[in-house]
Structure 1
Amino acid sequence: MRRPFRRAAITALALSTLLIAAPQATGAEAPTSTDGHGPRLYTPDPNPDAARQIVGLVKAGQYRDAARITAMIATPQAVWFGDQSPAEVEKLTRDVVRDADRRAALPVFALYNIPGRDCSNYSAGGAANTAEYQAWIDAVARGIGSRDAMVVLEPDALALLPADCGQDDAQGTKTAARYTEVNYAVDRLEPLRGTRVYLDTGHPGWHSVNSIVPRLIKGGVEHAAGFYTNASNYFTDDANSWYGKLISSCIAYVEKSAGDAADCPNQWTPRADAQTWIDAHVRVPASRMAHFVTDSSRNGRGPWTPPAGKYTDPQDWCNPPDRGLGARPTLRTGDPLQDARLWIKTPGESDGLCLRGTEGPEDPERGTVDPKAGDWFPQQALELVRYAEPPLLPAK
């Protein structure tokens, strides 16, 4: 949890910057508000380097960019926890829910501490074993207590199993442990009075509905609020919502009708055909189906299409160039299955050292060495705010 720059200082900087750069912004969508109805989503303290970038932009006379970065960090987004000790994460979680409660806001936690996290790649780390992970989840549960919270549980935990990256043994020991760990977290957190837990699906360009639904069921989605999609990725709101509807429908078909996930339509099925199938096979009301949330933090311009044939591994998910912030977070989506549109990924923080199949050390798309995963990336932050859709500030 970042504390060097206090929220009061950031607010003062934000107000002064916005007054200098965008006096015409009155009436624009308030960056810290969801939609004016119901509870607000929580805005955590920003990355200290974001504040430093704002100060640098103001000193350089780049007031409009400073105002855009200010608006970005003042927008509700998830609070990430992953490498803290149980004692630390309990305290930090409690601090957040208390602060959110004072502000009548709903915090979103992205918990990221599963053993074997990220297949030991850019975001490697996590608990050493199942017992250590369970103790860590227990600490998060104590920190949340009876206050309200949404939990985005372990990005990539189900979409990227140990078996998927060659880290398991012939008996599937680590993959079995992964399901044990995810189920434990669901069973520990979802029963808390005000907590809703969502499980990982990756994104619409990765697993088919037919392959991810069995993983969700094995991971305990029946006992969770539902699932999330597009965390830290770039697929459009339309693609994410459709993918979510298909997954939710397939879960209902399997769990309520004893169907086979292999029979469900997937995201590549023509939509009219998929809807016809849903109408014929899913007769469960939305209130009894698995719900979902989506990540719109960086999807304003959709996915990046790498230059054809340029890279052996283009890493289209890794700091792609010229992407923009997506639609602002909200708890009112207009879809009875979609509980929220969120900014799960912290926009402006790097995905890692992207080499795209080259020897590096520079990212060949950018000509720079990208910051390590989780560090602030000023170049990308400017791209995100300049290409935001909808725009962060009104046109001049």
Structure 2
Amino acid sequence: MAVRLGARLMAAIAATILLPVATVLMGTPAAADTRVDNPYIASERYVDPWWYASAVSEPGGAAVAIEPTGIWLDSVAHIEGTSSFPGLRAHLDEAVVQDSYGSAPLTIQIVLNDLPDRNCTHAVSNGDFSVTADGLNRYRTEYVDPIAEILADPAYQRLRIVAIVEPDFLPGLLLPAATSRCATVQASGAYPTALRYAITRLHAIPNVYVYLDASHHGVVGHPDNFGRAADLLASIAGATGGQPSPVHGFTVNVAGYGALVEPYFNTHMGLPVKNSRWVAGNDYVDELSFAQAFRQRLIAAGFGPGIGMVIDTSRSGWGGPYRPVRTSTSTDVNRFVDESRTDRRHSVGNWCNQAGAGLGARPTATPASGIDAYAWIKPPGVSDGTSMNVPGPDGLQPDPMCDPTYVQGTVPSGALPYAPAAGQWFGQQFQELLANAYPPL
């Protein structure tokens, strides 16, 4: 059932929750048609009514229910809305209502996630389009164009709209083709072509801020991929010599579980740590150090010095009773790393409903050098996918990486059991995220 907050209820929430937030805002609101350097500064944030209602329905959920989260447009149907979720225009209309209760502009985050053969590295790709079935043209006309037309409505011109473009596309281009879909994607050039169209179309709208996804430290932080990824992103965005491009910034760790900061170890401790089983040759062990370093490499690749990074911290907390409190003293490198790391996954590649994860740093503007924001782009408590062999809403199929009994090679999936289909509310996971939040609630 769709949950929509009317003006009176939103007024009550604004009066008791949203307006106090405005008292800590800094700076002077910009004119609606003027792009600012960082859309997260001097703004209020859109609270998704569906997320709010879902969170407050859980014990303890009221503590975080007012946090802003991303609005995922992961199918054509979600643009107009479904029986379960409001569409893009409904969210924007609600954002205008929320905006009316404050003096500062309101920032709303939307996520485009429907590339042809999206998530091609996964066993199951639940997108609407296929490269081999006119997917590139359909992506433009049935997906990007309708989104852009809605965003360009003058009714929304005061809003700051952060458009996060296609999370997790980079592995499908950087890594050896793991599936026949990836082989087709790489041979066709569909991803770069589709992305260029999307970022150019969205950038043409004056109050839209395009953030292109840059994956996460586990993939791009590896020295084999670091420079190639930056150059590829520059090629896609047409970035040369620091000249303006359609891309305002980049996102990392979207819908991921990577630790924001690993406080008890890093790769500077010496080659044995870098070559440990967990680190596996990567130059980075957390998202903040990776994002800051990758930003510099992106600037070297041709992006302007004003680009900023946004880190999804929605599920990167890894608190709770099993969080280490000091650096290990073990002389065995693998045991040293395992006892020191806060990220408790079996592999940095594990992505589905990870057991033991917690809410991460709360959404914050300019928390560190080069970082535009920590954001909860993935709404905590929303399932990544299911292993149950029953198609979910919108025909979503199960994925083995969401099966808690699945082992890929020798690595368990680490997924929680009994998860619903992707995009559905998963109360069990939300309760774990609350319990394991770091910083604690």
- Normalised TM-score (structure 2): 0.64
Describe the superposition over 1:188-211 as per-residue Cα deviations: whole angstroms up to 9, x where unpaired: 112311111111121111223223
Distance 2:307 2:440 in 1: 32
Instruction: Indicate the percent of aligned positions where both proteins have the same amino acid.
Output: 25
The answer to whether residue 344 in structure 2 is matched with residue 304 in structure 1 is yes
Alignment RMSD, CA only? 3.7
Distance 2:197 2:295 in 1: 22
* Contact 1:81–1:110 (8 Å) recurs in 2: yes
Match of 2:119, SS state, is: helix
Match of 1:227, SS state, is: strand
Unaligned runs of 5+ residues in structure 1 are: 19-25, 55-65, 257-286, 307-312
1:125 aligned to which of 117, 127, 133: 127
Describe the superposition over 1:214-255 as per-residue Cα deviations: whole angstroms up to 9, x where unpaired: 231232173201211011112233432221222221122232
Alignment-derived partner of residue 255 in structure 1: 302
The answer to whether residue 416 in structure 2 is matched with residue 355 in structure 1 is no
Q: How does 1:46-195 map to 2 (within 5 A)?
A: 46-47=50-51, 50=54, 53-54=57-58, 66=59, 68-85=60-77, 91-92=89-90, 94-103=92-101, 104-119=105-120, 121=123, 124-128=126-130, 129-135=135-141, 136-145=143-152, 146=157, 147-161=159-173, 164-168=177-181, 175-195=188-208
Alignment-derived partner of residue 290 in structure 1: 307
1:199 aligned to which of 194, 206, 212: 212
Alignment-derived partner of residue 43 in structure 1: 47
* Contact 2:259–2:316 (8 Å) recurs in 1: yes
Matched residue type, 2:111: A
**Pair 355,92 (structure 1): closer, same or farther in 2 beyond 3 Å:** same
Alignment-derived partner of residue 237 in structure 2: 220
Matched residue type, 1:114: L
Aligned length: 329
Matched residue type, 2:227: N
**Pair 31,184 (structure 1): closer, same or farther in 2 beyond 3 Å:** farther
User: How much has 1:171 moved relative to structure 2?
Assistant: 7.7
**Pair 50,97 (structure 1): closer, same or farther in 2 beyond 3 Å:** closer
Distance 1:213 1:4 in 2: 40
Matched residue type, 2:287: N
* Contact 2:115–2:194 (8 Å) recurs in 1: yes
Alignment-derived partner of residue 339 in structure 1: 372
Matched residue type, 2:107: L
Distance 2:13 2:97 in 1: 20
User: How much has 1:44 moved relative to structure 2?
Assistant: 0.8
Distance 2:89 2:23 in 1: 27
Distance 1:12 1:90 in 2: 21
Distance 2:13 2:169 in 1: 36
Describe the superposition over 1:294-320 as per-residue Cα deviations: whole angstroms up to 9, x where unpaired: 1010111252233xxxxxx89632222
More helix by share: 1
Distance 2:231 2:366 in 1: 29
- 4+ residue runs of structure 1 moved beyond 6 angstroms? 7-15, 29-34
Greater shift, 94-103 or 151-160, is seen at: 94-103
The answer to whether residue 361 in structure 2 is matched with residue 327 in structure 1 is yes
**Pair 87,332 (structure 1): closer, same or farther in 2 beyond 3 Å:** same
Unaligned runs of 5+ residues in structure 2 are: 27-41, 82-86, 240-244, 262-285, 319-341, 387-401
Match of 1:341, SS state, is: strand
Distance 2:362 2:183 in 1: 45
* Contact 2:107–2:160 (8 Å) recurs in 1: yes
* Contact 1:159–1:212 (8 Å) recurs in 2: no
Matched residue type, 2:343: P
